[in-house]
Homo-oligomer: A and B are copies of this chain.
Amino acid sequence: MATEQSSTPAAYEKLLEQYERATYLGDANGVLSWDQEVMMPEGGTPARSKQRGAVSAAAHELLVDDDVGAWLATLVEAELSAGKRAAVREIRRQYERKVRVPTDLVEEISEATSDAHPVWQEARGNDDFDAFAPTLERLLELKREYAAHIDPDADPYAVLFAEYEPYLDLDTAERILESLREGLVPLIDAVRDAERDLYSVEGTFPESEQSALAREALETLGYDFERGRLDTAPHPFSSGTQFDARVTTRFDESEPLDSLGSTIHEFGHAVYTQGLPREAYGSPLGEHRGLTVHESQSRLFENHVGRSEPFWAFFTPRFNDRYGTDLTPRQAYEAVNQVYEDNCIRVEADELTYHLHIVIRFEIERELLVGDLDVSEVPAAWNDRMESYLGVRPETDSEGCLQDIHWSHGAFGYFPTYSLGSVLAAQLYAAAERELDGLDSKISAGEFDPLHEWLDDAVRQHGCRYTTDELIERATGEPFTADYFLAYAESKFGELYGL
């Protein structure tokens, strides 16, 4: 016993050190990826692929090292503090997934997804699903095989979903998505039937002004530019660490509210990252708590702040000053909340229809993975469901089942986290409203600190200390539920559309 006890802390220290090295390598890869999207000249691709591959491989080797298995075995019965137990739990989870998948298969998937990207791009460009079908079939096969290595007895979709959201099981995801479908389909029908046109912003809004306004929005919302940057990228994203969490956005000169919304969305991701504990950098306790929680932070700021009346009471004068317009706060509020019932494109969807786009992808992916749907049947299945849930049928596959990049990445099981994050945002925001006096009036006065402090306390400071479900219960006092989102949606859009 004496020997075991004295070896335990050493095993923990060694395990953590190795995990930290892998984290640093992963974050180094994040910088390579940011640079590739934002700065790299076109010709750099071949070398960058090699560099990223080498850094990934080095990180992978550290994580699946035999020593890691041995240290984890030593630590099974060790007495550790709650924080250390949580760190070991997270490292164990990752180790057990990674070590089960043969390196050959990892490499095969990596190559197949590399090859898939241009095939998908061309297929989408030519509106030619048949050109992408064999690639999709191959990726599904590889991912089925991948899932079977991790857990041969489990639903492959559940295994893949756990890659992005490890602690909300698939039943929970299904229950939430089902609630969304049941609640939102009639609400969208009612919006359509109301035939009310909300106020629209029209005109030309120069990129330089949009960029300055995006920067102003970030500054007033509380983004720390000492630990971040704002740049442009074709597909906006946020990436980095608690020491350097960067935001990208893009500008369309006729849609000034789109880039602003997208900037605020990415701000939500980045401010979560900036709020992770710095002293725990490298350890699971310094890492984000999976994609559901990450997306909850972006959606909270994008929707519950950035699409709220209080925010536009505060921000409309700044908008008007920048562009020489004379919008009222109500007009701006209406303009950012229009429901586009006849839109086929997920990334252009409003707060309501968005989730039906996700439900369709979730259903189709599940059926594909278990073999209930053949790849050749995807376009029809997609279009039928669009018609049934949203009342609109895509005219082309480019506007239908070829629109998203995710499948070409082999990222089956990813989409639900978008909706789960939105739902969680509503639950968290309702808790913040309960606990913070007069949150609305703080926001209409441009005071965002109380909300940030609440989020620091409830979410950011914990890193991966708690599982997703624990985090939600601790932060809101309740299990994960779609009730707050549905109540929010009905109240907000009911008022906007006079339902």
Chain A positions within 8 Å of B, measured between CB atoms, are 20-21, 24-25, 27-29, 31-32, 35, 39-48, 50-55, 57-58, 224-229, 240-244, 278, 281-282
Contacts and interface: CB of A to CB of B under 8 A. Distances in A.
Contact of A226 (B31, B43, B281): B43
Contact of A51 (B27, B48, B50): B27
Contact of A24 (B31, B42, B45, B50): B50
Contact of A25 (B47, B54, B281): B54
Contacts of A244: 40-41, 43-44, 47-48
Contacts of A40: 244
Nearest to A55: B28
B229 A45 contact: no
Contacts of A48: 31, 243-244
A44 B35 CA distance: 15
A42 B55 CA distance: 24
B44 A243 contact: yes
Nearest to A24: B54
15 contacts: A24-B47, A24-B51, A24-B55, A25-B54, A25-B55, A28-B32, A28-B55, A31-B51, A35-B35, A42-B226, A43-B227, A44-B227, A46-B278, A47-B241, A55-B58
A48 to B, nearest CB: 7
B54 A28 contact: yes
A242 B282 contact: no
Contact of A228 (B32, B41, B242): B41
A27 B47 contact: yes
Nearest to A226: B43
A111 to B, nearest CB: 16
Most buried by B among A25, A228, A240, A281: A25
Given A28-B32, A58-B58, A47 B229 contact: no
Contacts of A241: 44, 47
Nearest to A246: B41
Contacts of A54: 21, 24-25, 28
Given A28-B28, A48-B244, A244-B48, A41 B281 contact: no
B41 A28 contact: no
Contact of A31 (B35, B42, B278): B35
B35 A282 contact: no
A211 to B, nearest CB: 17
A243 B51 CA distance: 12
Contacts of A58: 25, 55, 58
A21 B57 contact: yes
Contacts of A41: 225-229, 244
